[in-house]
Chains A and B, each alone.
Chain A
Amino acid sequence: MAKTAQPVSASQWFLGALSLPRKWRVGPGPIIAAIVLTVIVLSAIFAPYYVPFDPMHMESTKRLQPPGGEYILGTDPFGRDMFSRVVTGGRISLLIGIGAAVISVFFGLLIGLVAGFFRMADAIIMRIMDSLMSIPAILLAIALVSLSGASVGSVIIAITIPEIPRVVRLVRSVVLSAREEPYVEAATALGSSMPKILTKHLMPNTMAPLIVQGTYICASAILIEAILSFLGAGVSTETPTWGNIMAEGRDYFQINPGLIFWPGLMLSLCILSINLIGDTARDLLDPRLKKREA
């Protein structure tokens, strides 16, 4: 273990701060995933500047056109350009993914820290979380959306609520095991106050697992958005999302499989990239994490 002294560089500070293994070894998979994801994100952000057609414009004479020619990916049952719709649809899908990840990590961290640190609150919080987890996420989201109306905001909230218990459990378990570490006990002996121990010693331990969990939530939120749309409980069809493009193409699937295939492909590639990056981050950040997830 004895390491010869090296000057501390910024990268080493970063690795130390996340307690990463000193060796970064990344295979080609995650790098390709990162490139694919970057392309998808950029193409979605800049979609309005380069799409050939207004994704909302219906051309009743050009319904269900096959791919090729004027329409790269053909047109949908209302005569709208599929290519324009698919790249534009990524904007809302990604927004929902990132929104759900950020919100659920934020609230999950807050509640999880409280549960991990205060015994009294723990029992009550965990019962509520158990109850929330016992309702299948998709059903819960469906019910919430159908009650509150199908806006982007309500879809994000509906996806976030079932994810929060998972984050809470993760944060709580990290806090509970970190509390047992001798360095935390030493801090108590050194007279550090509870809030200081919580923020300076315990919270940093949750950062690496939360980054990983956040990527998974982002991926699963995009997926759930698609399923909600598919079931008719998603964002209204006036704003294209990958999910509702596929939902609208459902009935014409046998005529033109591309109606589901292209948005499905974009969606799957996007989620695949996020998941691969998440897996890589997890392997690098903390091999013990495998035990805690699920």
Chain B
Amino acid sequence: MLGYIIRRILAVIPVMLIVAIFVFLMLRLSPGDPAAILAGDSATAAQIEKIRTELGLNDPLHIQFITWMGQLLQGDLGTSLISKTGVVDMIANRINPTINLALMTIIISVLLAVPMGVAAAWRHRTWVDYLVMSFSVLGFSIPVFVIGYIFMAIFALGLGWFPVQGYRAPTEDFFGFLLRAILPSLTLATIYVALIARMTRASMLEVLGEDYIRTARAKGVKENSVLFRHALRNAAVPIMTIIGIGFALLIGGVVVTESVFNIPGIGRLTVDAILARDYPVIQAIILLTAGIYVLINLLIDLSYTLLDPRIRY
């Protein structure tokens, strides 16, 4: 078991290394002079040359990479071109709202999506199934910001149940946080629910056709016990997998949702960085999200061994 965990953790290293190389090369190999991009449109040749030396862009590529990786491993993600503050600090200041929003979204999504998927599989080819599947296709088809604006128009502007925009930290004012976080969470959850419900349904349909489900029915197990005790646990591995993979989708959604609802998190930071072409910040955010994605999927992988005794190390 321990050996398996160590091997899995070691397997993360090449993946993250390739991500780092990719992020590094993205800036250096993109068309145009990175120093010129970094300096901005109105820079003079001398300014560009100064940046060039500062960043070590005159060194050979592999030396640049080693220097960059060295800094990275020491936790130094560079300095913002705009605010001139450390990128690590900028991210640390912005990460809390994003984490809170993401957690709330995941909780809402799983609580909604899994029962929906189970119901759709159980009542396969009935109106329940069609309803869930229609919702799911719809969730995939509407851009997340359009959903955000629709919710905003109906529940905030129309019915006035929630504030239109803004964010409050849960540590200061928990109720205020909830009030402001519900619409963004629901917005973000739409596509995530669609994804998880769909996978739950597919996985459950497959499991419900298995022989051991027939065995359970043959011994007189109650139907809800057949579904939740026998079937769902066997269907869990693909569902967990999709929750992990969907995390990437969630990050993308966060970027959009935060700017729709004006929440001061990582997503807004990303958008600001793009508009300002603040490359060190963009690089850092990509590395960070990829790292979190890999970590979450590693944890999910390890959890399989708890869900399914057949999976051995």
Is A291 within 8 A of B202, CB to CB? Answer: yes
Is B282 within 8 A of A132, CB to CB? Answer: no
Is A230 within 8 A of B26, CB to CB? Answer: no
| Interface: A135 (CB within 8 A) | yes
Across the interface, which residues of A come within 8 angstroms of B245, CB to CB? Answer: 133, 294
Q: Assuming A131-B15, A139-B289, A271-B140, is B202 touching A290 (CB within 8 A)?
A: yes
Identity of the chain A residue whose Cβ is nearest the Cβ of B271 in the assembled complex? A231
Is B153 within 8 A of A257, CB to CB? Answer: yes
The smallest beta-carbon distance between B78 and chain A, in angstroms, is 15
Stretch at the interface among A7-15, A196-204, A260-268: A260-268
| Interface: B251 (CB within 8 A) | yes
In the complex, 5 of the A-B residue pairs with CB atoms within 8 angstroms, ordered by the A residue number, are: A135-B19, A232-B275, A267-B143, A268-B142, A294-B245
| Interface: B112 (CB within 8 A) | no
Is A138 within 8 A of B30, CB to CB? Answer: no
Is A134 within 8 A of B15, CB to CB? Answer: yes
Stretch at the interface among A64-72, A140-148, A205-213: A140-148
Across the interface, which residues of A come within 8 angstroms of B289, CB to CB? Answer: 135-136, 139
Expressed in whole angstroms, the Cα–Cα distance for A31 and B201 within the complex equals: 24
Is B282 within 8 A of A143, CB to CB? Answer: yes
Interface residues of A in 111-155 (CB under 8 A from B): 127-128, 130-140, 142-144, 146-149
Q: Assuming A127-B14, A130-B15, A264-B146, is B141 touching A137 (CB within 8 A)?
A: no
Expressed in whole angstroms, the Cα–Cα distance for A261 and B141 within the complex equals: 14
Interface residues of A in 228-251 (CB under 8 A from B): 230-233, 246
| Interface: A285 (CB within 8 A) | no
The smallest beta-carbon distance between A78 and chain B, in angstroms, is 20
| Interface: A281 (CB within 8 A) | no
Across the interface, which residues of A come within 8 angstroms of B256, CB to CB? Answer: 138, 227, 230-231
| Interface: B103 (CB within 8 A) | no
Is A142 within 8 A of B274, CB to CB? Answer: yes
Is A136 within 8 A of B293, CB to CB? Answer: yes
Which of B27, B137, B138: most chain A CB closer than 10 A? Answer: B137
| Interface: A82 (CB within 8 A) | no
Residues on B lying within 8 angstroms of A by beta carbon are 14-16, 18-19, 22, 26-27, 30-31, 37, 133, 137-138, 140-146, 149, 153, 157, 199, 202, 205-206, 238, 241-242, 245, 248-249, 251-252, 255-256, 259, 270-271, 274-275, 277, 282-283, 285-286, 289-290, 293-294, 297
| Interface: A272 (CB within 8 A) | yes
Is A144 within 8 A of B26, CB to CB? Answer: yes
Across the interface, which residues of A come within 8 angstroms of B143, CB to CB? Answer: 223, 226-227, 230, 246, 264, 267-268
Is B199 within 8 A of A294, CB to CB? Answer: yes
Is B255 within 8 A of A231, CB to CB? Answer: yes
Q: Assuming A147-B26, A290-B206, A294-B199, is B285 touching A139 (CB within 8 A)?
A: yes
B18 in complex: contacting residue of A127, A138, A257, A264, CB < 8 Å:
A127
Is B286 within 8 A of A275, CB to CB? Answer: no
The smallest beta-carbon distance between B210 and chain A, in angstroms, is 13
| Interface: A254 (CB within 8 A) | yes
Expressed in whole angstroms, the Cα–Cα distance for A227 and B260 within the complex equals: 12
Q: Assuming A131-B22, A142-B270, is B140 touching A275 (CB within 8 A)?
A: yes
Is B293 within 8 A of A294, CB to CB? Answer: no
Expressed in whole angstroms, the Cα–Cα distance for A130 and B294 within the complex equals: 9
11 extra interchain contacts, Cβ-Cβ under 8 A, other than A131-B19, A136-B290, A271-B140? A127-B15, A130-B18, A131-B22, A131-B290, A135-B19, A139-B285, A147-B27, A226-B145, A246-B146, A264-B149, A279-B133
Expressed in whole angstroms, the Cα–Cα distance for A148 and B29 within the complex equals: 10
Across the interface, which residues of B come within 8 angstroms of A140, CB to CB? Answer: 286
Is A253 within 8 A of B271, CB to CB? Answer: no
Expressed in whole angstroms, the Cα–Cα distance for A228 and B197 within the complex equals: 26
Across the interface, which residues of A come within 8 angstroms of B202, CB to CB? Answer: 290-291
Identity of the chain B residue whose Cβ is nearest the Cβ of A268 in the assembled complex? B142
| Interface: A218 (CB within 8 A) | no
Is B251 within 8 A of A246, CB to CB? Answer: no
Q: Top 9 closest A-B pairs, CB basis? A: A138-B252, A131-B18, A147-B30, A272-B141, A264-B146, A136-B251, A290-B202, A271-B141, A136-B248
Expressed in whole angstroms, the Cα–Cα distance for A229 and B297 within the complex equals: 30
Across the interface, which residues of A come within 8 angstroms of B252, CB to CB? Answer: 136-139, 227
Q: Assuming A143-B282, A143-B286, A257-B149, is B137 touching A276 (CB within 8 A)?
A: yes
